[in-house]
Structure 1
């Protein structure tokens, strides 16, 4: 088992920029694109993800220090530190159940497609860590029950695939991604509660007919409504809240402007590679399974380049920190996952058709729930991190994250696991 886990870890350490192109080449060949076209698609997609990761790193390296400065400036004192999705993913991959769950999740996906329970073929192997995190949650709560851990992972996967199916038409309409679904665990989980909340918000008088999408804003404010200018303005505002000097404020402003301009272009490169494989998949299904549709399941990174998503996410950064202070019952200090907010609100923004005001109100409500869930998840989250020999941040007694601990589906798995343990445990 240790050798198997080491082999799996080696492959996963290559990251999505290597794993995804290999998966695309294999799938392209299966669907009959031919090696040349499949290889070209795989490499193009890999390059697109390299570009997306570079832009996301630009976002992270600027937002992280700014958030830390805000925390110090306003004297926030919360005992549970949000260590972010990278540490949560590392803890999940380090779980004893990780190696067995990768083939299990792949097989379950194929079985669900065969029995027409899902239309999504999830090739985003890297993001299987969300399913594994659910399994690791069950494993920790039940004191090492392997079968229950596998059940938790499968339940989470089924829920994510169903949500991905249901949201695929919306993803096509809003993001223009035909034949693509987004079975990213956190995106699906936040969307599961965010979409119905957004529907209610959209019915509020005064907000119902308010046009606040990027196009309407650009028409109203001219050059200052353009995505890069919005990024500049929001970056400067974050720098001011962090108490930066003029030079640092201008740097973060330019960085956020660059994120807003470059991200859609990186996604466009990625889509250039995806289109041939997506079309081949549709033709394959049409010729062999008449009337059946197949979605290619990919990372929600495809959605974060939309100006409405990035604008809403940047506005939510200071709001999330403010919520952490005033929200009764919260003990989580948001930090590591602040830069991941675009992934959490991707379905919310799409369901609100890019309306930034409605998306912002909905996102605020959802983040409030997420903070409370992350607080409740802290004991198990900390146990998972300790199991992975994670070094505790200075001054922290517990850790959690919005991505794992504040994720509605994983929190539901936590409650299910606790109920199981109370009924059948020792």
Structure 2
């Protein structure tokens, strides 16, 4: 545990290159290629981190100005994902979550119940968060670890079921996103797609980057779109002209730089991914097609993802004021909204209209879930020694205390044996369904490969 904690505390920009170098050597890639791959991953993560922090630094005062201008005042304070992650990893469940989830991943690969090799170790804190809250309500460490394990398994299945969309619509071949926060919004995106597809007229509405470029050419350019949305947020916040212009330019830079940093990161991922596929094929499809599981940061710069996320900042504040029963003031989590929409954008096939509808649904629920879980989140934070902000008695966060998946898991444990039993059976059924789908997909890939080889001969 000391070694694991030491590596995790190095931070993603150091931890991820180390993981990729070690993985490359295990896969018998030359030392020079493994080191280069690791360095490119590290450079990409640093570039993404700097750019995302730039976005957060720019949007935080804007969000604060919007809150002050409209006089929002609620009893539950939003402390944001960094505080939530610190709390989650500071609990007893947090101490076990990495080895438990790595073991689950290996077991699922061996039993062909996943195709994802998850190297996004840091974001396992999402599962620890769920488990930590369950430990508080059940007073059982083992039930907390079990809840974290279920959260991990379900997230892996969602990563599998979205991997084809990630490849097609986010242009990330052989990549999957087993990110707890991003995965939690996927079921809602599936629901929105199913409903919209059944409504004549509405199902024909399509607003993707191609449509925007065709009809509104200036909005089709990421830099222009970022500048316009940044300026719009500044106007809504009522800040001075100088600050509006600075926000506009910063958002233009963010939407331009993030995709390029993600591309650089992928240059390091591809050699590892290709080698894994070679090994899988050489073993007669024993594992089928393998996808590398990465942080959703790899596609946080998609124009639809960023555009919807920035539009949802003022919208979510309005929702906070009008949603009945809400006591949660979204603030610190607002700048992390792009991570909520990475997989939603993929599932909605890059369509801004459906992604925005999903955002309205999920973030309205996030306010109520954040309010509902605030007492447990506060108790968990206090138990780890977390210092509540002065004058605050209740805290929560959109990520991960405002997500549907952890909420469902936590609520199940309130019903004790019956709830846990039903949840376990549902998870098992989900895993077996995913295994059947994976076997079908592997068979189709093998058949396509045979036809291609026959045609070539």
TM range (shorter): over 0.9
Residue in 1 that maps onto 2:425: none
Secondary structure, aligned partner of 2:292? strand
Q: Does residue 253 of the first structure (1) align with residue 253 of the second (2)?
A: no
Tell which deviates more after alignment, 319-328 or 289-298.
Answer: 289-298
Question: Per the alignment, do residues 311 and 44 of structure 1 end up closer, same or farther by CA in structure 2, a change over 3 Å counting?
Answer: same
For 1:9-408, what aligned pairs fall within 5 Å after superposition? 9-143=5-139, 145-290=140-285, 292-408=288-404
Q: Give me the whole-angstrom Cα distance separating, in 2, the residues matched to 1:422 and 1:387.
A: 28
Q: Give me the whole-angstrom Cα distance separating, in 2, the residues matched to 1:8 and 1:32.
A: 24
In the alignment, is the contact (CA less than 8 A) between 2:188 and 2:358 conserved in 1?
A: no
Q: Give me the whole-angstrom Cα distance separating, in 2, the residues matched to 1:305 and 1:165.
A: 22
Secondary structure, aligned partner of 1:208? helix
In the alignment, is the contact (CA less than 8 A) between 1:9 and 1:93 conserved in 2?
A: no
Secondary structure, aligned partner of 2:216? helix
Per-residue CA deviations over 1:10-57 (Å, capped at 9, x if unaligned) read 322211111111111111222222221111101001100100001100
Per-residue CA deviations over 1:74-113 (Å, capped at 9, x if unaligned) read 0001110111110010001100222222111111110111
In the alignment, is the contact (CA less than 8 A) between 1:82 and 1:402 conserved in 2?
A: yes
**Alpha-carbon offset, residue 7 of structure 1:** 4.8
Secondary structure, aligned partner of 2:395? strand
Q: Give me the whole-angstrom Cα distance separating, in 1, the residues matched to 2:285 and 2:355.
A: 38
Q: Give me the whole-angstrom Cα distance separating, in 2, the residues matched to 1:378 and 1:267.
A: 34
Q: Give me the whole-angstrom Cα distance separating, in 1, the residues matched to 2:224 and 2:129.
A: 38
Q: Give me the whole-angstrom Cα distance separating, in 2, the residues matched to 1:9 and 1:382.
A: 24
Q: Give me the whole-angstrom Cα distance separating, in 1, the residues matched to 2:419 and 2:47.
A: 49
Question: Per the alignment, do residues 370 and 201 of structure 1 end up closer, same or farther by CA in structure 2, a change over 3 Å counting?
Answer: farther
Q: Give me the whole-angstrom Cα distance separating, in 2, the residues matched to 1:423 and 1:253.
A: 49
Tell which deviates more after alignment, 343-352 or 86-95.
Answer: 343-352
Question: Per the alignment, do residues 217 and 203 of structure 1 end up closer, same or farther by CA in structure 2, a change over 3 Å counting?
Answer: farther
In the alignment, is the contact (CA less than 8 A) between 2:413 and 2:419 conserved in 1?
A: no
**Alpha-carbon offset, residue 395 of structure 1:** 3.4
**Alpha-carbon offset, residue 422 of structure 1:** 9.8
In the alignment, is the contact (CA less than 8 A) between 1:214 and 1:227 conserved in 2?
A: no
**Alpha-carbon offset, residue 140 of structure 1:** 1.1
**Alpha-carbon offset, residue 394 of structure 1:** 3.4
Secondary structure, aligned partner of 1:293? coil
Q: Give me the whole-angstrom Cα distance separating, in 2, the residues matched to 1:308 and 1:101.
A: 33
Q: Give me the whole-angstrom Cα distance separating, in 2, the residues matched to 1:391 and 1:194.
A: 36
In the alignment, is the contact (CA less than 8 A) between 1:142 and 1:421 conserved in 2?
A: no
Secondary structure, aligned partner of 2:400? coil
Q: Give me the whole-angstrom Cα distance separating, in 1, the residues matched to 2:156 and 2:405.
A: 12
Question: Per the alignment, do residues 85 and 23 of structure 1 end up closer, same or farther by CA in structure 2, a change over 3 Å counting?
Answer: same
Structure 1 portions without partners, runs of 5+: none
Q: Give me the whole-angstrom Cα distance separating, in 2, the residues matched to 1:423 and 1:300.
A: 31
Q: Give me the whole-angstrom Cα distance separating, in 2, the residues matched to 1:423 and 1:123.
A: 31
Per-residue CA deviations over 1:309-339 (Å, capped at 9, x if unaligned) read 1111111111111101100011110011111
In the alignment, is the contact (CA less than 8 A) between 1:202 and 1:352 conserved in 2?
A: no
Q: How many residue pairs align between the two structures? A: 419
Give the root-mean-square deviation of aligned CA atoms.
1.7
In the alignment, is the contact (CA less than 8 A) between 2:218 and 2:225 conserved in 1?
A: no
Q: Give me the whole-angstrom Cα distance separating, in 1, the residues matched to 2:138 and 2:180.
A: 22
**Alpha-carbon offset, residue 397 of structure 1:** 2.0
Tell which deviates more after alignment, 209-218 or 126-135.
Answer: 209-218
Q: Give me the whole-angstrom Cα distance separating, in 1, the residues matched to 2:81 and 2:275.
A: 33
Tell which deviates more after alignment, 220-229 or 241-250.
Answer: 220-229
Report the TM-score when normalising by structure 2: 0.88
